[in-house]
Structure 1
């Protein structure tokens, strides 16, 4: 990946966990009633065949990490745990009232915040409350985000006992200078302990998150982190660029100066070195920013063509319906998106009045659905076609024109009825998707909304 291409294509752009992207949702035509209708339709179409996915947001953290862009509430008062779980189960009950049959749970993910802020007993109470009125799919996959510093054997065992087999740990970087800058002091020994415990208990997939482009991070730091990661050989890895968006996330990402971040050329070197080292160890690249060993379900899903991408990132299988529970969670019915209120107080207030705590969303029109499919195919399979299922759309010729320069640069090949991203172009897949993003093309943002693409 040449520096000239980096300089040319390293612009602000979406990560495409959805289309339309959140800034382009049409909230004026959205309503809670329309959202419920879209979910009921999707549930009827897909529950018996696919099941549904659940994402549960657990927002509490004891310490603020200054690289984090997630919705969180910092506190050391663990008395907040039980009321929050009661509220999440109340929200789940409100959703269950919409359905004529029990939902089949295929995927469930606990994110945060810090899910392991909660006690093992409260986490079990949460999951048992979800499953009490549901059916478990035979091939279900339950996963959670664990903090290596506070994930105990009791946490891992309690979640294993209610069906969890996958855990991901946020590593970021092992260098102490970088860790101090991002306020995440986390020795290698803590990550090793948490990884070994999970495997000892029986978890079949352990993942690590590694970030490049962090403040004060050097090429040697990235190399050191990946070589240490090699010792533990996690089943899957997220290796991605730090998304610096302080204008959105406020003080949480202002713990260091912009000048402390690596310049574009150094970030390119960090990315290339990381990819090379991971390949030498045996990791296969999955979509964008993700790597897995051949024994992991994410790799198997890619080989079989079943890889999917949603608000949880890349997943090994697709469900048409995904319900997000908890503050700020986003739900996806395929026909619509809905996001919960971001404050815990507002969340509690809606539930007190028996209202699903959605505050914004988007109902997809026919054009949205077609573009969404193209972007999903590009993000998950690095190719898309318009020969089947009416995937042709009126402005396709304009998209092809926008892609011509990328084709000249060797990033993709345009066929008669298809586009395929080259190996050289895979790091720029977000830029390629932007050419398909009709809403973005029609109205370029006046201010920076997204992180940089490379």
Structure 2
């Protein structure tokens, strides 16, 4: 395994989309094309399965140096109301483009720090979104909470608005690691917000942990998971730290690269975590996720309904996902669009009655087929091109890209179907890369992606 990690630990996408954002064709994209794509998808999917909403709430009081999200650092809470007003105006712009009332099946508040906002403003936001929409009978509403600033009142308010799932960013309990990533929070704070959520009635509490952080050791990972065991969250995200300091504005320069665990040692951190999670009764879900058998994510895996999009893995698949807020990404299945990346420009465009979209990609037929193959691999570790509607042109090109992976027993091929054996799941991103026609054709010497393993 050590030699394989060294061989395949190369920069590669996380595949929350295909094509991945660096390979979107912005030259042929236009806002009008995106609107037509959105309308077409809405007509197809709203009554059939409902739609998803992702709301990007970008404000944070402090900069966490591990974070690669688009955020706006401020301690001025007077920014809340104007921003929420802009989000609701953007939502109204989308409502004006369709005749039917939207049926919301999934709603997620991400960031940034959603719990930066007061309970009153969070309630204002959710009620505003639902005012001209219908809540799906199987709706799943979720949000990301910061353990250090999530209040019981916020949890209760969001519960009253229909939220039943909360995810807390824990990362690591070691003090040296926390100082390096500028994310100081105690176990007692995490315990308190976890206990509050369960007391109120949340049915799924998730903890986000990260391996590969600066100064992180095997002992740190074992300690963090042993503390996590005391709280037994319903699901756990165990992410590989993505070191991409060259991306403008991510702020990942608060430590030296020599402080980061490398290659096989970093992978060993994951394997230790994976074994400890298994001992605690968690099942591995897709890539980087673990869930108890009582959680909806595990049930979706068993029923082959697991889905992956810009929000990560989800048990509630919808064809259409609308992203509202600064930098938010929308997905119609036939196209992607991304909003402008600064709060000021976002609010300016919305105030003018314009969708704040600045780039995107409209998928052609081949894009859609490759996207489905990659989605199959990321969710179910297998895909097939035996049926006519799943055939890719120049399949030999992709099989040639798989040659080393086949020789190294990291993928199995039989009757136009490939399977990823359990021991090879750490290499799923590498296997997906073999199907990524944009990546193969347009490879760049510039730094673009984090390392795959």
TM-score by length of 1: 0.99
Partner of 1:227: 226
Query: After the TM superposition, which of the residue ranges 390-399 and 27-36 deviates more from structure 2?
Result: 390-399
Displacement of 1:251 in angstroms is 6.2
Instruction: Output one character per residue of 1:395-415: Cα deviation in whole Å (capped at 9) or x when no partner.
Output: 211111211211111111111
Partner of 1:425: 424
Partner of 1:148: 147
1:102 aligns with 2:101: yes
Q: Contact between 1:282 and 1:293, CA under 8 Å: does it hold in 2?
A: yes
Determine helix, strand or coil for the equivalent of 1:225. helix
Q: Which runs of 5+ in 1 are unaligned?
A: none
Partner of 2:391: 392
Displacement of 1:268 in angstroms is 1.6
Displacement of 1:288 in angstroms is 0.4
Q: Contact between 1:410 and 1:424, CA under 8 Å: does it hold in 2?
A: no
* Alignment: residue pair count: 453
Q: 1: CA distance between counterparts of 2:136 and 2:388? A: 29
Q: 2: CA distance between counterparts of 1:263 and 1:131? A: 46
Q: Contact between 1:208 and 1:238, CA under 8 Å: does it hold in 2?
A: yes
Partner of 2:112: 113
Q: Contact between 2:140 and 2:316, CA under 8 Å: does it hold in 1?
A: no
1:407 aligns with 2:406: yes
Q: Contact between 1:223 and 1:274, CA under 8 Å: does it hold in 2?
A: yes
**Aligned positions of 1:295-310 closer than 5 A:** 295-310=294-309
**Aligned positions of 1:316-395 closer than 5 A:** 316-388=315-387, 390-395=389-394
Partner of 1:58: 57
Q: 2: CA distance between counterparts of 1:249 and 1:305? A: 38
Instruction: Output one character per residue of 1:257-293: Cα deviation in whole Å (capped at 9) or x when no partner.
Output: 1111112122021011000000000000000000000
Classify 1:307/1:90 alpha carbon distance in 2 versus 1 (closer, same or farther; 3 Å). same
Partner of 2:76: 77
Q: 1: CA distance between counterparts of 2:55 and 2:382? A: 31
Determine helix, strand or coil for the equivalent of 1:425. helix
Displacement of 1:299 in angstroms is 0.2
Q: 2: CA distance between counterparts of 1:61 and 1:397? A: 48
Classify 1:150/1:72 alpha carbon distance in 2 versus 1 (closer, same or farther; 3 Å). same
Displacement of 1:24 in angstroms is 0.3
Q: 1: CA distance between counterparts of 2:300 and 2:154? A: 28
Q: 2: CA distance between counterparts of 1:290 and 1:209? A: 9
Determine helix, strand or coil for the equivalent of 2:164. strand
Q: Contact between 2:70 and 2:249, CA under 8 Å: does it hold in 1?
A: no
Query: After the TM superposition, which of the residue ranges 250-259 and 186-195 deviates more from structure 2?
Result: 250-259
Displacement of 1:252 in angstroms is 1.0
Q: 2: CA distance between counterparts of 1:249 and 1:314? A: 26
Query: After the TM superposition, which of the residue ranges 407-416 and 324-333 deviates more from structure 2?
Result: 407-416
Displacement of 1:388 in angstroms is 2.8
Query: After the TM superposition, which of the residue ranges 96-105 and 381-390 deviates more from structure 2?
Result: 381-390
1:209 aligns with 2:193: no
Instruction: Output one character per residue of 1:90-141: Cα deviation in whole Å (capped at 9) or x when no partner.
Output: 0000000011100000000000000000000100000000000000100000
TM-score by length of 2: 0.99
Moved over 4 A (4+): none
Partner of 1:311: 310
Q: 2: CA distance between counterparts of 1:251 and 1:391? A: 37
Q: 2: CA distance between counterparts of 1:249 and 1:167? A: 29
Q: Contact between 2:69 and 2:250, CA under 8 Å: does it hold in 1?
A: no
Instruction: Output one character per residue of 1:319-356: Cα deviation in whole Å (capped at 9) or x when no partner.
Output: 01000000000000000000000011110111121001
Q: 2: CA distance between counterparts of 1:368 and 1:394? A: 11
Partner of 2:176: 177
Displacement of 1:389 in angstroms is 5.2
Q: Contact between 1:57 and 1:113, CA under 8 Å: does it hold in 2?
A: yes
**Aligned positions of 1:435-446 closer than 5 A:** 435-446=434-445
Partner of 2:279: 280
Partner of 2:13: 14
Determine helix, strand or coil for the equivalent of 1:78. coil
Q: Contact between 2:2 and 2:264, CA under 8 Å: does it hold in 1?
A: yes
Partner of 1:38: 37
Partner of 1:289: 288
Q: 1: CA distance between counterparts of 2:262 and 2:451? A: 12
Q: 2: CA distance between counterparts of 1:87 and 1:30? A: 24
Determine helix, strand or coil for the equivalent of 1:14. coil
Query: After the TM superposition, which of the residue ranges 260-269 and 275-284 deviates more from structure 2?
Result: 260-269
Q: 1: CA distance between counterparts of 2:249 and 2:6? A: 27
Q: 1: CA distance between counterparts of 2:3 and 2:15? A: 24
Query: After the TM superposition, which of the residue ranges 250-259 and 236-245 deviates more from structure 2?
Result: 250-259
Displacement of 1:394 in angstroms is 1.3
Q: 1: CA distance between counterparts of 2:77 and 2:323? A: 23
